[in-house]
Amino acid sequence: MASSAPREVTTPHRQIPLEIPSGIAPTEFFNSPCNLRHLARENGLLRTPEGFLLYRKAIGHSNLFDTSIIFDTSQRILDPMGRPVRRDQLAHDENLVFSRMSKVVFHYMLEKYPDPAQHLVFCGEASLDATWPLNKTGVPSIRMIHNHFMVFEQSAIAASPQAAEDNPNLTDSGHNGLFLNYLSEVYLRFLDVLDLEVLRPIPPDDCKLAVTGYPQGLPSWEVVGGAETLNRGRFWHEYDMVLKGFLDFYGALFSLVATGTTRIPADAAFPDRIEDILLYSDQFHQAARMLRLQVLEDPMFANQIRWKPAYKQLLYRDDRGRLIVTISQNSVGNAITELLGIVVKRVVDEEAYAAVEGALVGQLLDLRNRLVRYNLGTPVSTPTWPHGRFVPPAPAGRG
């Protein structure tokens, strides 16, 4: 087997049939209400009454299976920074629908790709906080809460060239090194005290993917009972608890960095544990001091700090077929693939994409039918699937 190393996977896509107006950065345009309306019209698969949209990723990460669910508030909340970007910002009924949809899609992937030796199956969210400028490199193309679902062929990952070790999407501009080198022990200890029943802490090195050697040093939990446990509300409650624990850790750290004082964030979910484990930790204060000094002296580094929580949270199937939950800070790269050591290089190649589009869309329409049967939305018609069947688009330049 090839040596374990992060990989750069090349994924072809079709040229987006929409011109970015001059004078506007791509990420600014992608977050505009008109582009998001276009996304739904061209690639939308299904909508729910709450506003969730299942859609085909026009510029995807994997052309084997790749789809996303977003909470599409773009037409009623025109301020891109005023839209919900995290699950904890959803109402209870919205969160329940989002969790049910995620469960159905994940089960579908496991059903269609049952062998962990053949396929890497995962989903997750990448969130950036509202202090990140819209035209900054690495900002998600859609600044709204989303869950991204993907399947990669293990052989394709192994055959891909190794990614550069200093790729900023893998290193998170040095922030990942901070967590690993200075905060790993207290970070793991803080999250280890969560009151979990169906998520069992697992040593980080025990669930690395053999092909990439990732995730690296992140708190990880095995889903006790496997895929069947996703049918329980308890799993999704604990999945949210992991997020809330991370948000508390992140918020406490950067509050200490920002003010130099031991304030507990007013919206903390676990304030007693913040004081007991974090604020009495010399290691925690040492890391905060290092960050604070660097912010004061280095304007470029100061501009990279995300003062509000920014995270990536994944649910993936490891090499042994176990379902694993992990979470990390998100400072530069916004693709969840990077937590698993996969950097995606997307290139325009009409012919290569056309060769796989039919199979990809066929699966997404099949998945859509399942969601409709479970009362999770109504179909959306697009030029590529006007009546629930794939219709190949006309070749570029032929109308």
pLDDT in tens, 224-241: 999 999 999 999 999 999
Looking from the CA of 84 toward its CB, the CA atoms found within 13 Å total 20
d(Cα 224, Cα 325) in Å, to the nearest integer? 11
Question: Is pLDDT above 60 for 165?
Answer: yes
CA–CA separation, 371 and 100 (whole Å): 9
pLDDT on residue 2:
58
Query: Which pLDDT band, with edges at 50, 70 and 90, does 30 fall under?
Result: confident
Q: Hey, which of 27-36, 136-145, 146-155, 291-300 has the most confident mean pLDDT? A: 146-155
- The residues, any chain, with a CB within 8 Å of residue 82's CB and separated by 6 or more, are none
Average pLDDT (185-208) is 90
Average pLDDT over residues 255-284: 93
**Domain range enclosing 139:** 7-379
Q: How many domains does the chain have?
A: 1
Q: Which range (40-44, 164-168, 183-187, 340-344) has the least confidence?
A: 164-168
> Which pLDDT value is given to residue 173?
45
pLDDT band at 138 (very low <50, low <70, confident <90, very high): low
- Is residue 15 scored above 60 in pLDDT? yes
Residue 173: inside a domain: yes
The confidence band for 180, taking pLDDT boundaries of 50, 70 and 90, is low
Q: Which pLDDT band holds residue 328 (cuts at 50, 70, 90)? A: confident
pLDDT classification of 349: cutoffs 50, 70, 90? very high
Does 1 or 59 have the greater pLDDT score? 59
Q: What six digits make up the tokens of 192?
A: 């280890």
State the residue for tokens 């049918």: 231
Number of helical (H) and strand (E) elements in the chain, helices listed first? 12, 12
Per-residue model confidence as pLDDT tens digits over 71-112: 988 888 887 777 888 899 999 999 999 999 999 999 999 999
CA distance 179 to 185: 9
Does pLDDT of 264 surpass 50?
Answer: yes
- Residue 396 pLDDT greater than 70, yes or no: no
Return the pLDDT at 305: 77
Query: pLDDT grade, residue 398 (50/70/90)?
Result: very low
- Asked if residue 336 is part of any domain, the answer here is yes
Q: Is residue 191 part of a domain?
A: yes
Report, in angstroms and rounded to the nearest whole number, the Rg of the chain calculated over CA atoms: 21
- 28 pLDDT band, cuts 50/70/90, is confident
The answer to the question of residue 1 being in a domain is no
The verdict on residue 385 lying in a domain is no
Q: For the chain, what is the mean pLDDT?
A: 88
This prediction has a pTM of 0.92
Lowest mean pLDDT among 166-175, 191-200, 201-210, 366-375: 166-175
Contacts of 358 (CB under 8 A, 6+ apart): 390, 392
In a domain, 233, yes or no: yes
With a cut of 90, say whether residue 355 has pLDDT above it: yes
Sort residue 321 into left (φ over 0), alpha (ψ -120 to 50) or beta. Answer: left
* Mean of pLDDT values over 275-303: 91
Q: What is the pLDDT of residue 292?
A: 92
In a domain, 393, yes or no: no
Question: Who has greater pLDDT, 28 or 301?
Answer: 301
Please report whether residue 389 resides in a domain. Answer: no
DSSP state of 59: T
What is the rounded average pLDDT of the residues 177-204? 83
Higher pLDDT, 30 or 10: 10
Q: Which residues pair with 146 in a beta bridge?
A: 70
Q: What is the DSSP string of 345-383?
A: EEEE-HHHHHHHHHHHHHHHHHHHHHHHHTT--EE--BT
**123 pLDDT above the threshold of 80:** yes
- Report d(CA 282, CA 76) in Å as an integer: 46
pLDDT of residue 44: 94
pLDDT at 333: 56
Whole-angstrom distance, CA of residue 97 vs CA of residue 102: 8
